[in-house]
Amino acid sequence: MAGLAAKGVRAASTSEPSSEREALEGEVRIMYITPETVLGRWKSKLKTLHCRVGIKLIAVDEAHCVAEWGHDFRPQYQQLIELREVIPDVPIMALTATATPSVRQEIIQVRSDPRP
């Protein structure tokens, strides 16, 4: 986040105690939240945040966790589709630098049909 700050971009993460207030008051442009946190204590706050500041995009980093070993290691990645129920008009982008072609297909499958 120091690199963003150096460029004048306000960013915060849920690991910082003041981040919730800053986010809800529209003081940050980028908010880093883990899947576990956004589906936990932040899920009920997303609609409020969107109404107050207008969430423009949700970017899911390490999206390869949706597929392969991520099923066991971080199952919340597959549950991120639930964000569509809370803020349906916000685009969601999946980012990963390590996905094989089969993992990319699995990510698309989860996006299209999240419930087995």
Domain boundaries in the chain?
Answer: 1-32, 34-116
Helices (DSSP H) in 9-100: which residue ranges?
Answer: 19-24, 35-38, 43-53, 70-73, 76-79, 83-86
Full-model pTM: 0.75
Q: What's domain 34-116's architecture?
A: 3-Layer(aba) Sandwich (3.40)
Structure tokens at 105: 């297909």
Structure tokens at 15: 């690991």
Of 59, 68, 58, 73, residue with least CA distance to 105? 68
CA distance 35 to 14: 11
- Tens digit of pLDDT for each residue in 43-95? 888 888 899 888 988 888 887 777 765 566 788 887 888 898 999 999 988 88
